[in-house]
């Protein structure tokens, strides 16, 4: 992959959280690339996430589903893509517990449909083509108090979400080994930052603190996640896209482990200060609720391959990234209010009030 190639890139799921940051980075950093964003605009997809680049001349949006094989064939024929950056997915563990088939459909069938379309269109000549699959560290399972996930760690998914992502990773590798399709995979830890849908821990808690609502902590709050600022993830994908090796997997992580309860306390402290509330006010909202079924205990990524081979490192300390994130939500209350209107209220009721 070289910088002088005039790529036409199909980004899937570009209207979602990570996809929108990635689309923005590629549209602005590579004006000579043509970017086509294919997104079904599910509850998680929102064109407001891309408002600042929607009229860029190298950007084009198409509303459509990655399981629609006829549409994929038509798009490959029309745009002659040279690369796919595959972000579209069902991404929330709690939703996968209530509706696992939706995850099989998009993550397994959708990914396989995209792989087939790319193979069909590129099979005469794979030179300078790339299918880049964006995946998660959750495929590796759950860690105890020590140890890390390496690229060589055996897959051990334990939620319907991670099982569907693991399956999609296996299909990507199967297409590499069986058909020679040029692929890359990255598995990243938990992201946070602007445009994060408020069903996930950090934006949900920011929204609840703003509205003085209880902060639901599953179990005892002792589960550990490794958090990475979303723009650092997008930067890592950029580096791997251009300089990573075909057929390889790269782990991406922040070396930044937080127990959920400690993270929420840090969030409460920062929000009290930004909202001019007395110290300790937001912490009183913490409410321990029934644990998530099959709740993975700890995730921790070893990202040294990415650092040693491609020179990538996270740029932000967590406290700083969290502060930037809170500021963004406080300055974008209209975005927040729009996404929590409509179906969100029903989701919240089912997930937190009726359980």
232 is catalytic: no
167 binds ligand NAD (CB under 6 A): no
Residue 120, helix vs strand vs coil: helix
**Structure token pair of residue 88:** 């579209």
218 binds ligand TYD (CB under 6 A): yes
Which 8-state DSSP code applies to residue 49? G
**What phi and psi, each to the nearest 5 degrees, are found at residue 322?**
-65, -40
Cβ proximity to ligand NAD, 110 vs 182, nearer residue: 110
Shortest reach from residue 200's CB to ligand TYD, in Å? 4
Q: How far apart are CA 300 and CA 97, in angstroms?
A: 23
Which 8-state DSSP code applies to residue 292? P
201 binds ligand TYD (CB under 6 A): yes
Find the binding residues for ligand NAD in span 170-209 (CB under 6 A). 188, 190-191, 197
Q: Which does 164 bind (CB under 5 to 8 A by kind): ligand NAD, ligand TYD, none?
A: none
Q: Given the structure tokens 């029309």, which residue do they identify?
A: 78
Length of the chain: 355
Cβ proximity to ligand TYD, 67 vs 190, nearer residue: 190
161 is catalytic: yes
196 binds ligand TYD (CB under 6 A): no
Nearest to 20 by CA among 66, 43, 53: 53
3-state helix, strand, coil in the chain (%, to 5): 45, 15, 35
Nearest to 300 by CA among 190, 226, 222, 200: 226
Which member of 9, 11, 15, 306 binds ligand NAD (CB under 6 A)?
Answer: 15
40 binds ligand NAD (CB under 6 A): yes
59 is catalytic: no
Please spell the DSSP secondary structure of 157-186, one letter per residue.
Answer: --SHHHHHHHHHHHHHHHHHHHH---EEEE
158 binds ligand TYD (CB under 6 A): no
**What phi and psi, each to the nearest 5 degrees, are found at residue 62?**
-130, 125
User: Which is the catalytic residue, given 161, 229, 250, 299?
Assistant: 161
What H or E segment, with its residue span, contains residue 20?
A: helix 17-29
User: Which is the catalytic residue, given 65, 94, 137, 169?
Assistant: 137
Strands 130-136 and 190-192, sheet pairing: unpaired
**String marking each residue 273-292 x if it binds ligand TYD according to CB under 6 A:** -------------------x
Cβ proximity to ligand TYD, 34 vs 133, nearer residue: 133
93 binds ligand TYD (CB under 6 A): yes
What amino acid positions are annotated as catalytic residues?
Answer: 137-138, 161
User: Interface with ligand TYD by CB under 6 A: which residues?
Assistant: 93, 190, 200-201, 204, 216-218, 223, 225, 260, 292
User: Interface with ligand NAD by CB under 6 A: which residues?
Assistant: 12-13, 15-19, 39-42, 44-45, 65-67, 87-91, 106, 110, 134, 136, 165, 188, 190-191, 197
């Amino acid at each position: 992959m070289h910088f002088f190639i005039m790529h036409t890139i199909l980004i899937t799921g570009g209207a979602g959280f990570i996809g929108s940051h990635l689309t923005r980075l590629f549209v602005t950093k590579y004006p000579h690339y043509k970017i086509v964003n294919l997104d079904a605009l599910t509850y998680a997809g929102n064109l407001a996430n891309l408002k600042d680049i929607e009229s860029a001349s190298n950007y084009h949006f198409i509303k459509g589903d990655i399981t629609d094989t006829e549409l994929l064939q038509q798009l490959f024929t029309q745009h002659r893509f040279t690369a796919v950056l595959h972000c579209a997915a069902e991404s929330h563990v709690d939703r996968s517990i209530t509706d696992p088939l939706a995850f099989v459909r998009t993550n397994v069938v959708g990914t396989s449909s995209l792989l087939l379309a790319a193979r069909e269109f590129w099979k005469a000549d794979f030179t300078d083509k790339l299918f880049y699959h964006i995946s998660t560290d959750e495929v590796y399972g759950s860690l105890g108090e020590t140890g890390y996930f390496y690229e060589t760690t055996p897959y051990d998914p334990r939620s319907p979400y991670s099982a569907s992502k693991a399956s999609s990773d296996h299909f990507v590798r199967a297409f590499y080994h069986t058909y020679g399709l040029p692929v890359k995979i990255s598995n990243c830890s938990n992201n946070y930052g602007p445009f994060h849908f408020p069903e996930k821990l950090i934006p949900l808690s920011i929204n609840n603190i703003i509205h003085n609502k209880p902060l639901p902590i599953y179990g005892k709050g002792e589960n550990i996640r490794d958090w990475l600022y979303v723009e650092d993830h997008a930067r890592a994908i950029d580096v791997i896209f251009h300089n990573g090796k075909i057929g390889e997997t790269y782990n991406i992580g922040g070396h930044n482990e937080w127990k959920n309860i400690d993270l929420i306390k840090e969030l409460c402290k920062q929000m009290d200060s930004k909202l001019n509330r007395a110290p300790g006010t937001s912490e009183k909202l913490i409410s321990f609720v029934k644990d998530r079924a099959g709740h993975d205990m700890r995730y921790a990524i070893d990202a040294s391959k990415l650092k040693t081979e491609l020179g990538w490192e996270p740029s932000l300390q967590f406290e700083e990234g969290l502060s930037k994130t809170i500021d963004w939500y406080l300055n974008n209350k209209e975005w927040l209010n729009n996404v929590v209107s409509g179906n969100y209220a029903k989701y919240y009721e089912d997930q937190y009030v009726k359980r």
